[in-house]
């Protein structure tokens, strides 16, 4: 996590199937529809979210396949 001006930048995270099964809601609810996770215990995510603290709005940053990748 990092802070820049009025933004909070959050990278990564994980989806824990056991955590979800206990009925605790989180930003990972969309992964329930992903059938490849049904047998997974935990999955580490490679996502980037930005919270605008003035608008109180989360934005998912998406990259194209053609965008430069870190070495």
* 71 residues of the chain, pLDDT tens digit each: 899 999 999 988 777 766 555 544 554 555 555 555 555 567 777 788 999 999 999 999 988 889 887 76
Q: Are strands 7-11 and 2-4 parallel, antiparallel or unpaired?
A: antiparallel
Angle at CA of residue 28, ends 15 and 33, nearest 5°: 95
DSSP state of 67: S
**Coil, helix or strand at residue 42:** strand
Domain range summary for the chain, segments of one domain joined by +: 2-52
């Amino acid at each position: 996590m990092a802070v820049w001006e009025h933004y909070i930048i959050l990278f990564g995270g994980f989806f824990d199937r056991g955590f979800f099964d206990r009925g605790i809601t989180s930003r990972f609810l969309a992964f329930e529809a992903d059938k490849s996770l049904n047998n997974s215990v935990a999955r580490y995510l490679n996502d980037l979210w930005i919270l605008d603290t003035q608008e109180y709005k989360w934005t998912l940053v998406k990259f194209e396949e053609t965008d430069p990748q870190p070495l």
